[in-house]
Structure 1
Amino acid sequence: MLVGILVVLIYVYAWRERLKNGRPVTTSEATALINTDAAIWLDVRDASEFKSGHMVDAINIPHGKLAEQMDSLEKYRDKVLIVVDKMGQHAGSAGRQLGNKGFDVRRLSGGISEWRNQSLPLVKK
């Protein structure tokens, strides 16, 4: 019985941590949020990766600079922030930082790699 309780507690903890990092969304869910003007893209890749291809109207704040530039996102507090990275490696920690500051956060499942795999449009600078 104690082992069962432990397993349930571990599951609840993992589920809760996953939500604190921002609930993952698929490309179609993210696109629906963007198209209804309920969300914005927040790309946390480096500037060079961002310039090689990003979503239309995406905001680029590299993962390492997110904490110091978070104030620039205050004007988007009423929107969902969809965090995009290369393959999902930094979206969780970025989502946690934003969530701790009270932002409504989602993470794009698979990152920009999944977006490209589905041949969805990108803007290049």
Structure 2
Amino acid sequence: MKFLIDNIFLLGLVVLSGGALLFPMLRGRGNKVTTLQATQLINQGKSLVLDVRDADSFAAAHLLDAKNIPLKDLAQRLVEIDKFKAKNVIVVCQTGVQSAKATSQLSAAGFEQVYNLEGGMAAWQTQGLPTISKESKVENKTGNKVKA
């Protein structure tokens, strides 16, 4: 007990720094969906898939029927997706970091049901889910291309 009293400031510093390290993980970063949940929302047919990666990454592989608006252009191009304010919007990037920023922007702009795809395209492709590329062919789990 004497040790704790003698080192109260050191103990306080340890607790404070530990809390600072945990804070980002405990803080909510908006609505997230897993690849399974995103697939279910997409299959219901009432969702916009918004890909916020650059045009080259989008052309290489993206989700079927996704709309590409790079994150840097999102604020200026919100009018293009205005009709989806009351519908589900699933935001996708490569890993989920840029789409988290886009999710915040869309929520601030009045979009009601905005979801960030956890893990982004990397998680989608790791799960072997279909993507479409510039050649307009769907790639399946084995990487083989099949007609869309």
Does the alignment reach a TM-score above 0.5? yes
Question: In the alignment, which of 54, 63, 78 is matched to residue 55 of structure 1?
Answer: 63
The residue number in structure 2 matching 1:115 is 124
- Deviation (angstroms), 1:52: 0.2
- Aligned identity (percent) is 40
- Deviation (angstroms), 1:44: 0.2
Q: Which residues in structure 2 correspond to 1:69-88 (within 5 Å)?
A: 69-88=77-96
| Distance of 2:43 and 2:91 partners within structure 1 | 16
1:94 aligns with 2:102: yes
The count of aligned residue pairs is: 112
User: Which whole-Å deviations, capped at 9, do the CAs of 1:74-110 have from their partners, x for residues lacking one?
Assistant: 1212211100000012011101100001112100000
The structure number with the bigger radius of gyration is 2
The residue number in structure 2 matching 1:37 is 45
- Deviation (angstroms), 1:120: 0.7
- Deviation (angstroms), 1:38: 2.6
Would you identify which runs of 4 or more consecutive aligned residues in structure 1 move more than 2 Å? none
Gaps of 5+ in 2: 1-14, 135-148
Q: Which has the higher helix share?
A: 1
Higher relative contact order (CA 8 A, sep 6+): 1
SS at match of 2:124: helix
| Distance of 1:79 and 1:123 partners within structure 2 | 23
Q: CA RMSD in A?
A: 1.7
After TM superposition, the score normalised by the length of structure 2 is 0.71
SS at match of 2:27: helix
